[in-house]
Each structure stands twice: as C-alpha cells, then as structure tokens.
A and B are shown apart, each in its own frame.
Chain A
Amino acid sequence: MTEKKKDLLFYIVAISLPVLQFCIFYIGVNFNSLLLAFQEYDVASGSYRLCGFTNLSNVWEEFFNTFLLKNGFFNSLKVWALTTVISLPLSLLFSFFIYKKFPLKNFFKVALFLPSVISGMVTVVIYLYFVERAIPGMAEKLFGYEMVGWLGNVDTQFGAVLFYNIFYSFGGYILLFVGAMNSVDPSVSEAGALDGVSGLREFWYIVFPKVYPTFCTFLVLSVAGIFTNQFSLYSFYGIEASNNVMTFGYYLYAITSVATTAEYPRIAAIGVLMTLFVIPITLLVKYVLGKIGPKEDAV
C-alpha cells in the first residue's frame, strides 16, 4: 500500500466515527424533529400520519393567544441580551487582564475557570445552597435580618439565576479569548508600548482585532441558541420553574421531559417555528459582524 493510500485510510478511519455520529445525532435527529412538526399521532393505530401545516398553524395561534409562550419568548430575549451584554465584555476584560499578566491574574484564572471545570450540577448545588441557606443564615446571624433565599423569592430569582449564568459562562469565554490573545505577536505589543500606546488603545487596536473572530463566533452562536438556552433552570427547579424565569428553551425542555408520543408533534412545531424566527436573525448578525469590527493596522 502506498503512503498516500495509507494516509487516506487513516483519514477515513479517523473521520468515519465523527461523521457517523454527526449524521445520526444531528442530521437524523433534526430531520426527524422537522418531520414530526408536520405529523400527528393516530392513537388508534399508534403511528404518525402527515397533517400538513396543522401543527404549525395551531402553534402560531397558540403563540399569540397564550401568555406562557409569549412570556418564554420575551424571557429568552431578555436573558440573551443581559448575558451577552454583561458576560461578553466582562470576559474580554478579564481575558485581557490575564493576558497582560496583571497582579492576581492566577487567582482570577482559577476563580473564573473553576465553574467550567467542575460539573454543572455541582456548581448549581453549591450556588443553590449558598444563596438559599448561607446568605439568609448569615443575614440572620450577623444583622438579625430574616430573609428568604434569592432563588426561592419570586422578586429576586431572575437576578439570582442570571448572576449564576453569567458567572458560569466566564470560563468558556475566557479560555478561548486568552488563547486568541496569546497569538498576538509580543513584538507588536512591545513596539506599541515604546510608542506610548495606552492599555485601552492596545486592547482596542492590537488585541481585540485578534480575538474578534472568536468574539463573533460567540455572538453568532449565542443568537442561534436564544430559544434553546434553558438558563440552567432545570438544574435549579426541575420542571417547576416559575413564569418569572421561564425561558423558551426551558419550556421546551420541561414539556418534552414529560410528553408522550402523541404530544411530540406540537413540541416539534414550536421548535420549527422558533428556528424559522432565529435563522434570519443569526444570518443577519453574522453578516453585520463581518462588515464591521476593528482593524488591526489602525494604531
């Protein structure tokens, strides 16, 4: 066997499993979901049959007539906007802090990476007990103030869950941002320093352009996932999260977890409807981000 054939064989063997997995668990699953949106369950025969656009039109009508879907929709947008507006810039800032090797950089590295390294369920439990037991306990012991935990209190639960999600997201963001920042040629930074470029200008004109593709990827992915992000609500509340915090992704997840075969088509139709909504927005964001953005040579 020639070297070229060996390489090809190696390539085929190496790539076949991921491709197969992609075909089954992405293409297959999504195609099936898409198909389900146009089917209904026949109880008598125990099988699905095509029903055209009935499910979609029912869900469309439901969307405008029910508070739950609308509420989930707007909560999802709210969560996305807040986490993106707060989390992405802060991640950039922390990453720059670590990249520039400022004091306590290792502390920040550990503190911000840790939630991503530990299992999500473990961090949820730690956070849950911290805000539900430790903080009210301390408030009572230290100040004699009786308070309800933030996650159980309807007035504070949205903020408490939001804080957790923002904090939890730092690890992933920072890992990739710092990686991208490290690809900046040190001589460019040194030359900038000799020319008296301030930290802010260095960030904006030297570092940010390097991480901009990563930044764009995160932003586009976050837009694409607006209506599937369940905001860690299932880990905190099981299927009993209140309307205050319920996102669309959570709603879909919760109803799917208890649904029977007959109920899948409606859920699939909700998913398809949201996909139709989010596709143009995602493409638009990707297009706009490609058009704008910092230039590396404008120092």
Chain B
Amino acid sequence: MNRPFRKIAVFTVALAMTCPLFLAGCMDSQQGLEKLDPTRTQLYVQNYKGGYGSDWLYAVKVRFEKEYADREYESGKKGVQIMISPAKEDGISLINKVSDTTNEVFFNESVYYYEYLKKDLLLDITDAVEEKMTMFGEQESIEDKLSEEQISYYKVDGKKYYGIPHYAGYNSIMYNVNVFDEYCLYFADTNDHSFISDLSQDKSAGPDGEYGTSDDGLPSTYDEFFLLCDYMVELGLTPIVWPGQYYNSYIEKVINAFYADDVGLDQMMLNYTFKGRAKNILDTVAEDGSYEYLYGEEGVDITSKNAYLLWASEGRYNSLSFFEKLVKNTSYYPKLCFSPSYLYTDSPKDFLESVPKGEPICMLVEGCWWENEQKDVIKQIADYYGQEYSLENSRFAMMPIPKSSEEKIGMASTIVDTHYSLGFISASIAPFKQELAKEFLMFCCTDRSLAEFTVTTNTVKALDYDLTQEEYAQLTYFGKSVYDLHKKSDIVYPFSAEEVYLGNQSALSVHETFGSKIGTKEELHPIGYFHENQANNAIDYFNGMLVYNMERWDRVFGGYFD
C-alpha cells in the first residue's frame, strides 16, 4: 500500500472506530443506563428531564418491580423491569417521534393532548382511569382524583381517556424566609403599613385576611408589595431577581398568575371555554388611569365570537400595571435581569448564593419546581459556605399573590397550572404489554405514589390527593408552602375541549396571549415593551390588547364560527 492510501486507510479505520461512540450518543439513553435483564419483561418509560427530575420515577420503579416480581407477561420471563429514559424533549418536539421510539409510557410537559389524539398516538386508557385502584389497596379511581375541568378536557367526547395529567406547574414569586425573618420584612398589624421591628411583634393578616396563617405579614396588596420593595432597597437588599435570558416568558407567566388570582377561577376559565358571563370588562383606560366598565355591573355573555373582550378584563389591567411598576424601577432588580446572558440557571443560583455572600436577594420569579431543580446547587453552596445553607436548613416559600386592592383581601387564592403535562401510553405499544403499562400508570397515581412524588420533588401532581402528617413533615419548608397553596387555592387548568381552543392551542396558550397594538405597532411582550422606554406604560399596552385581539379574532379564529 502506498503512503497516501495508507493514510486514508488509517483515517477511515479511525473514523469507523469512533462511529459506535457517536451512535451510542444518538441512541436512547435507556440503552446505556441500566442493563437489560433478559429474565424479566421490560416496560420502557420516558420521562421529561426538567425541573421535576426523575428521582420520583426511580422510586416508583423500585416499588413497582417489587410488587410485580412474580408476574408473567412473556413466556420464559418472570417479573417486570422498568427501563427509565430521561429525555430533554418536550411534548411539542416529541409528537413526531412517539411512534418511532422504543418507549411505551411517557411523562412529559407541553403536550397538546388533542394534537396527539388526532395523530392516533395515544392508547385508550379509559378502563385504567375509571377503575377503582383496589388492586393497589385503594378505593378511588384516577378519575376520582380529577377536577371537573380536567374530566371535561381529558375525557374525550365525555367517553374515553387517552391521557392523564401529570405534575402541576405554578409560576409565581418565591421568597427566602430566612432573609425575611432576619430583616423583619413583614408588615405589622397596624393601619399605617409599617414593618415589624422584631419577630415577636404582631404581623398583619396577609392576603388571605386571616391571622395565624403562613402568609401573615406578607404584602396583602400590590401597594404593600411595592412598599416592601422600597423598604428592602432602603435596607440595602435586592428585592427580586429573574432570568434575563427569558424574562418575557418568565414574567408573563406570573402576570397571568396575578390576573388569575385577581379575577378568580370562573372568570379565568372563560379564556378557554369561551362560555359564560364576563364581568369587569373595561372601556378604554384614560391617561390618568381612570376607567369605566363597558357592560356595567351585569357583564357580558362570552362566546367564541366575542371572546376577545376578555382582553379588556380589569384583572389584566391590574396585573399589567403591577409589572409595569416593578420593571420601571431599576433599583428593584439586578441589571442583568434583562441580559440574554443571564440564564434561567443563573438567577436561582444568585438568589441562593446571595445570602452567604452577604448581598441578599429577597425574592425570585420562578416556578414551583425550582428548588428541586436547584438541589445540587444548594448542596454545593452548603458544602462551600456552611451547612446552614443546606436544603434542610434553608427556608424558601412560594409567596401568596397580593391582591390588587384592599377590598379583595380575603378573596380565595387562584393559581394557574401552566405546564400542559401529560402521562400517556403510546398507541404502538405491543398488545401483550398494554395491561402492564396501564397498571403502571395507575400505580403512579395511587395515593402512595402521589405522596412519594411530592415528598421527593417538593412539588405536586395535578391530581387531588392528601398527604398524611408524616408525609407532610418530610417536605422541605418550600415543599410545604407549595402543597399548602395547592390545597387551599382554586386551580386554573388552562384548557378546554372547545373547538376554537383545540384548533389554536398554541395561539391561545399562556405565553402567546400578551399581544397588543399600540398605534400602528404590534407588541408581543409587555415586559420588553415597558423595559424599552420609560414612557411606555401599562395603560397603552392594555388598551392595545383589546384592539390587537379584536383585529386578529376573525382573521385567525373566524373559520371556527363563521
């Protein structure tokens, strides 16, 4: 062999040798994580590798495999092996791959349920959802743990289930209780909105209007929230932080949460069902912020034809005004909060590290999964700065949303689950495994598994279940606050089986509903708009939202009601 050919041959062999490495990288991670046991039947489960992690699933796997150790699904095999494949691929990208993957059971988010249905990707699991889970020692079915809104959405045509809700994702403002305690950042039980000077002083009743609850001393109105921020700045603290990389979507979800809390569950659901009477629809807001109700006290009947009126809801205006004020005051947040280099992993890390560094940041815009997502960071910080910063010793909490006015103090809390999470079985699963997969899905929804999920992740599943006192005691301080809020709040599941909604699920999803037309210019993101120019304000943005939606309504959705 001459020299050039020898070189080529060596290069080719080297390339060929590296191929398996690349192929291994391309293959499902399940293949490399756990050795396949040929004596057992495998059930392949894909789990979205996001903030909730996969620890909960590994815990279920251990119990399920033990419980099913003597079952036979294939000749010559005994027992079941759950093969877990964590994947960083949400429901939007997964839709084109479900039938091509070896995975059979899926837990994912951003799953547009009816899209999957139309593509025949989901197995009918009606029997598993409706059957009482007596085989696992329970008298309830999965259906018993669903809300009415969830049943009307997941039970297709009121007959069949093809998927069940997975975890709940609530976006809001988190706060560091240790910092709040250390600096006495609580309102005193007085009428002058003053702060307590030591923790033994009586605190105000907080947004729920009741004394002796976990929200005592926290800002009960928007105005109090800003008084608190000013006080924090005065004390040399940084009030709040959010990721600059995706500041629009992070804050918009919280704007939506404020809006939902302000108007309540029934009014909020009109945005998805397009059926019912909308109240507090505003006429144009004047420059001085004054306004009148367009349809008086009575309100107006909403149908899919006039649902654009919901963009003139007083609740939207209130929440927009709140965030205009927050964004416009640059002393409230670090300047990186609008930098694309400030990643979604940076802001929680800075929030956590700010205390040991002696420059406390008091609040964080995030989702309820953030603490679970940051477990490793918290451990690193504790290892470096001291165990007083460990997960066990830290005290974070989800802040109850303040009310827009004093009159609304005591009104029930309303929270929004923004994640469109779904547990489902692939329609292409082998027939002999269908029962097994359904039973696994049921097993994941037993009270014990639900509690285990909550204890493991310190978040909640989007189902109705209770923790025992013992289980509750195992939660972190933050986990308790999430669970408490979940239990005592009305929950908005932002979907419906209405045809207009189903045909335009992404255009009507939480993060796509902030468009506005100001003059001749469309804006998609209020936060970016407020940040761009000090003169830009919530009044113009709010007035423009109705115009924007009126103009797009017929054009985009007209085909559904012409």
Contacts and interface: CB of A to CB of B under 8 A. Distances in A.
Contacts of A260: 112, 115, 504-506
B117 interface: yes
A41 B503 contact: yes
A44 interface: yes
A257 B511 CA distance: 13
A46 B119 contact: yes
B239 interface: no
Interface in B292-337: 335-336
Interface stretch (A61-69, A102-110, A221-229): A61-69
Contacts of B439: none
A54 to B, nearest CB: 8
Interface in A142-195: 146, 148-149, 151-152, 154
A18 B249 CA distance: 41
Nearest to B531: A154
Nearest to A58: B555
A240 B517 CA distance: 17
Give the interface centre of A61, A129, A236, A243 by most chain B CB atoms within 10 Å.
A243
B288 interface: no
A123 to B, nearest CB: 14
Interface string B335-350: 1101111100000000
Contacts of B555: 58, 61-62
A66 B503 contact: no
Interface string A177-221: 000000000000000000000000000000000000000000000
Say which size band chain A's interface belongs to: 35 or more
A262 B340 contact: no
Contact of B551 (A58, A65, A243, A259): A65
B248 interface: yes
B528 A240 contact: yes
A213 to B, nearest CB: 30
A214 B248 CA distance: 42
Contact of B499 (A44, A243, A261): A44
A295 B505 CA distance: 59
Contact of B339 (A46, A67, A148): A148
Interface stretch (B30-38, B194-202, B443-451, B519-527): B519-527
Interface string B528-540: 1001110000000
B92 A258 contact: yes
A154 B506 contact: no
A236 B532 contact: no
Contacts of A47: 118
Interface in A24-61: 40-41, 43-44, 46-47, 58, 61
Given A67-B520, A258-B512, A133 B506 contact: no
A296 interface: no
Contacts of B335: 146, 148
Contacts of A266: 556
Given A44-B499, A259-B506, A151 B522 contact: no
A58 B562 CA distance: 15
B146 interface: no
B507 interface: yes
B339 A242 contact: no
Nearest to A157: B340
Contacts of B248: 240
Contacts of B118: 46-47, 261
Contacts of A133: 339, 341
A151 B119 contact: no
A237 B247 CA distance: 10
B245 A238 contact: yes
A43 B532 CA distance: 39
Contacts of A67: 517, 520-522
Contacts of B112: 260
B499 A46 contact: no
Contact of A242 (B119, B244, B503, B532): B532
Interface string A229-247: 0000000111110110000
B432 to A, nearest CB: 28
11 contacts: A43-B114, A43-B560, A58-B555, A67-B522, A128-B340, A128-B341, A151-B341, A242-B532, A243-B522, A261-B118, A263-B504
Q: Which 4 A-B pairs have the closest CB atoms?
A: A46-B118, A132-B341, A152-B339, A43-B503
Interface of B: 92, 112, 114-115, 117-119, 244-249, 335-336, 338-342, 499, 502-507, 509, 512, 517, 520-525, 528, 531-533, 551, 555-556, 559-560
Given A43-B503, A240-B247, A243-B521, 13 more contacts: A43-B502, A46-B118, A128-B340, A132-B339, A132-B342, A149-B341, A152-B244, A154-B531, A154-B532, A240-B528, A257-B92, A260-B505, A262-B505
